[in-house]
């Protein structure tokens, strides 16, 4: 090879190497923060966003259980950034932006509005932040999901109500108080309940309750009583405990001498006490620990760049994503007869919390001595 050809070959090789290095650099830059996270040294930072604080479970159980499991898995020096949207979807969108700005390694998100949060989930995903949808199936490119079997919740509520009504099932009408239309779980509870109740009992009035608020359920119940007449109402399907409280207040104000059976969900402390004192018929106990543990495990694994095979054994389709790795937890009916077997368990209340002075007699009758 003459000197001109050698120089040309060396120059071509140099150009090729430079192009290759540039391409490598571009690929790494295109990967955004996700590539950097895989090589990250030091403690993880995990974000946790919960939807509201009217339902006592979030602050009382979900938050501490998730935080505890994250630190068990990732170390006590793991930084956990927490916020609560207080039922405001716009606030939650801003909170996701803050988590992105703070460059969390993964985000656990319980959406206020599963549809409107999709753009925020995409923004996080575009920055290499994997999002775990917690309790509600958020839309957008979520990487994992955990919740209870929500249609089963509705079926449990409906079956319990029918069983309690017994021979009275044809002697009047029930009122259905569903949850908020912005919560995809509310539709699943409703569908599950209808699959049991339809054709078995007459549904006199049915409501989708704005923001799950007890005061809105109270107003709806007043309207139902006025429309149907209190002598016609033989039972109330309430999708959760908070609304059950508002419903029971309306029933008492209307002068019901004997309250019709009212369902619920979440096994809130006030609901457990109402069940013990025969004001609320039942709730649905959703074991918070396995759900919280699953969310923490998936978030830590994703933050560390690991697969979810050992945690998520099934998949779920959202409105925007297919085959999302998921953990689905089984719920249980909670009637007066069931309370004693759960008292003191992690994720439930202690006897001291339940059996205050006002409820000591009811506790003794239920075997909580």
Is 37 part of a structural domain of the chain? no
- Is the pTM higher than 0.85? The answer reads no
The pLDDT of residue 257 is: 87
Is 319 part of a structural domain of the chain? yes
pLDDT (tens digit, 9 = 90+) per residue, 212-244? Answer: 999 999 999 999 999 999 999 999 999 999 999
Kindly state whether residues 230 and 296 are assigned to the same domain.
no
Is 8 part of a structural domain of the chain? no
Kindly state whether residues 105 and 234 are assigned to the same domain.
no
Q: Is the pLDDT of residue 119 over 80?
A: yes
Kindly state whether residues 195 and 297 are assigned to the same domain.
no
Give the structural domain span for 58.
45-148+288-329
CATH number, domain of 58, equals 3.40.50.2300
The pLDDT of residue 51 is: 96
Kindly state whether residues 104 and 246 are assigned to the same domain.
no
- Mean pLDDT computed over 274-298: 96
Question: In 10 A of CB 119, how many CB atoms?
Answer: 12
Kindly state whether residues 227 and 341 are assigned to the same domain.
yes
Q: What is the mean pLDDT of the chain?
A: 90
Kindly state whether residues 337 and 350 are assigned to the same domain.
yes
Kindly state whether residues 158 and 280 are assigned to the same domain.
yes
When divided into structural domains, the chain yields a total of 2
Kindly state whether residues 178 and 272 are assigned to the same domain.
yes
Is 36 part of a structural domain of the chain? no
The pLDDT of residue 346 is: 81
pLDDT (tens digit, 9 = 90+) per residue, 341-356? Answer: 999 888 899 999 999 9
Kindly state whether residues 172 and 226 are assigned to the same domain.
yes
Kindly state whether residues 218 and 123 are assigned to the same domain.
no
Kindly state whether residues 133 and 220 are assigned to the same domain.
no
E-strand stretches of the chain: 45-50, 79-84, 106-109, 131-134, 144-148, 173-178, 202-208, 233-238, 283-285, 314-316, 324-329, 332-334
Is 294 part of a structural domain of the chain? yes
The pLDDT of residue 40 is: 55
């Amino acid at each position: 090879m003459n000197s001109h050809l050698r120089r040309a070959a060396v120059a071509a090789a140099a150009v090729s190497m430079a192009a290759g290095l540039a391409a490598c650099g571009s690929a790494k830059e295109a990967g955004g923060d996700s590539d950097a996270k895989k090589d990250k040294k030091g403690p993880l930072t995990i974000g946790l966003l919960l939807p509201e604080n009217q339902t006592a479970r979030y602050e009382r159980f979900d938050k501490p259980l998730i935080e505890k499991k994250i630190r068990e898995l990732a170390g006590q020096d793991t930084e956990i950034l927490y916020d609560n949207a207080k039922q405001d979807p716009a606030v939650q969108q801003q909170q996701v932006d803050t988590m992105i700005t703070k460059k969390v390694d993964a985000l656990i998100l319980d959406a206020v509005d599963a549809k409107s949060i999709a753009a925020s989930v995409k923004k996080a995903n575009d920055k290499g932040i994997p999002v775990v949808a917690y309790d509600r199936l958020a839309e957008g490119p979520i990487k994992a999901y955990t919740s209870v079997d929500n249609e089963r919740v509705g079926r449990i509520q409906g079956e319990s109500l029918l069983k309690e009504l017994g021979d009275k099932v044809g002697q009047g009408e029930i009122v259905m108080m569903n949850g908020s239309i912005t919560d995809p779980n509310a539709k699943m509870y409703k569908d599950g309940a209808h699959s049991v109740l339809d054709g078995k009992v007459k549904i006199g009035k049915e409501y989708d309750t704005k923001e799950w608020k007890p005061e809105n359920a109270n107003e709806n119940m007043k309207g139902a009583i006025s429309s149907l007449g209190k002598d016609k109402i033989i039972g109330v399907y309430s999708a959760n405990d908070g609304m059950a409280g508002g419903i029971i207040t309306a029933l008492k104000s209307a002068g019901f001498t004997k309250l019709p059976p009212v369902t619920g969900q979440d096994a809130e402390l006030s609901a457990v006490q109402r069940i013990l004192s025969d004001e609320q018929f039942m709730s649905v106990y959703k074991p918070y620990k396995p759900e919280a543990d699953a969310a923490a495990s998936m978030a830590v694994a994703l933050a560390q760049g690991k697969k979810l095979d050992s945690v998520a054994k099934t998949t779920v389709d959202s409105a925007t994503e297919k085959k999302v790795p998921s953990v689905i937890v089984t719920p249980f009916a909670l009637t007066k007869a069931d309370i004693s077997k759960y008292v003191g368990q992690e994720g439930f209340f202690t006897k001291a919390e339940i059996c205050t002075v006002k409820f000591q007699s009811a506790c003794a009758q239920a075997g909580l001595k």
